Amino acid sequence: MEIISGGVCAAKGFKANGIHCGIRKNKTKRDLSLIYSEKTANVAAVYTTNLVKGAPLLVTKDNIKNGKAQAIICNSGNANTCNANGVEIATATCECLSHELNIDKTDVVVASTGVIGLPLDITPIKDGIPELVSGLGYGKSVEAAEGIMTTDTKLKEVAVSFKIGGKECKIGGIAKGSGMIHPNMATMLVFITTDCAISSEMLKIALSTDIQTTFNMVSVDGDTSTNDMVVVLANGMAENDEITAEGKDFNTFMKALNTVCVNLCRKIAADGEGATKLLECKTSGAETLEVAKTVAKSVICSSLTKAAMFGADANWGRVLCAIGYSGAKVDIEKIDVWFKSQKGEILVCKDGAGVDFSEEKAKEILLESEIEILVNLNDGEYSSTAWGCDLTYDYVKINGDYRT
């Protein structure tokens, strides 16, 4: 298995594009993206758990109930959520695109991201679709990734090459996500493409299983968004024998999917609104997997811990505090905690109590841009990882001025 370039265009038969159609005021910002498969693909998707759901999610869920799709269209700058005519706009988007691509409108995945409750005019989307389609290309994953960005400061894409049955397969993805990032479900937009032949049923199993240890373990600010989804298209153009059951080939596919998803998780967390540091909490020695996950997420979600990491303050008590209110069944008197980065590793807590350590060394470790918080519960064999970021002054500035 190898990390390669190409993003959503790495797999055979996938084209992409991104343009500025006029939804966003800044004409230098792309605001409409398209991913297209030359062949109808099997599809799987998971959606936000927020009871308030964007109209595009409702339309997409209905469109792909047959397990098939051929295109993904997404606009940024407007979430098309809590709008009286939201479903009408999302449906019209699918219809306009299907006409231009000469595909069935139910083979379109539609998505939106941006401000909630702002009316969305179909005109710029309708007028932009011909340019969007005519500009489709095999090397335009970057353009598509740029078109779905909102407060993101960094482009998020990755691709992986792997083999199944002697056939080279590829899987790649793009993502957006910077604020309103919190479990459960993806709480971001992630679009993944693969040329691996896998049934829609097994694709659904793969995705729903993987997100439990990837996208559901990411948190930036504790707010679960209204529009988020993860979608995977598999067009089978690698020509491997179709994966229709669990086994060696399915496990290989799962590993490739997980590699893509973990990579995107780290990118999303590191680019949290106002963030200066990627935080990765690794728990080990848990009695159950659920305990390991709960502890890791609680530490990552702790505002006090996030603020301490911003200030490079080795305030390990905040880590224990977060574990204590997590609801997980743990023995506090068994817990060990370390802080780790490229500058080294330092033990700050042993058996639930403080130990002597160099504050100078700890600060040197915590000044790095990627920080690991290592927690050993010393109570079992299960482990888990969660991703987040520090909490900075700029987070408040960004969200205080979000609509302006």
pLDDT tens sequence across 351-401 = 999 999 999 999 999 999 999 999 999 999 999 999 999 998 887 787 777
| pLDDT tens string 114-169 | 888 888 999 999 999 999 999 999 999 999 999 999 878 889 999 999 999 999 99
| Interval 284-318: pLDDT, tens | 999 999 999 999 999 999 999 999 999 999 999 99
Q: 213-269 pLDDT, tens per residue?
A: 999 898 876 556 677 889 999 999 999 999 999 999 999 999 999 999 999 999 998
pLDDT at 354: 95
The side-by-side arrangement of strands in the sheet containing 336-341 is: 353-354, 344-350, 336-341, 370-376, 278-286, 382-389
Whole-angstrom Cα Rg for the chain: 22
Top mean-pLDDT range of 25-29, 52-56, 103-107, 269-273: 103-107
Q: Which domains does the chain have, with CATH numbers?
A: 2-270 (3.60.70.12), 278-400 (3.10.20.340)
Q: What angle do CA 396, 401, 404 make, to 5 degrees?
A: 165
Task: Tell me the CA distances in angstroms from 260 to 232, 265, 279, one per residue in order.
Answer: 11, 9, 19
- Burial (CB count <10 Å: 0-12, 13-18, 19+), residue 339: buried
Per-residue pLDDT, averaged over 58-65, amounts to: 96
CA-wise closest residue to 72 among 19, 144, 121? 144
> What tokens were used for 385?
């990882």
Question: Does the N-terminal peptide bond of residue 184 adopt cis geometry, omega within 30 degrees of 0?
Answer: yes
Q: What percent of the chain has pLDDT over 90?
A: 81
pLDDT of residue 53: 80
> In the numeric block, which tokens belong to residue 309?
């990491």
Rounded mean pLDDT of 45-73? Answer: 91
Instruction: Give residue 403's pLDDT band: very low, low, confident or very high (50, 70, 90).
Output: low
pLDDT for residue 404 is more than 60? no
Residues β-bridged to residue 169: 162
Return the closest-CA partner of residue 374 out of 355, 350, 390: 350
> Does residue 91 have an active-site annotation?
no
- CA–CA dist 128, 131 (Å, integer): 6
Number of helical H runs and strand E runs in the chain: 11, 15
pLDDT band at 274 (very low <50, low <70, confident <90, very high): confident
From 91, 187, 213, 294, the catalytic residue:
187
Q: How many CB atoms lie within 10 A of CB 66?
A: 11
Q: Tell me 236's DSSP state.
A: -
pLDDT range class, residue 76, cuts 50, 70, 90: very high
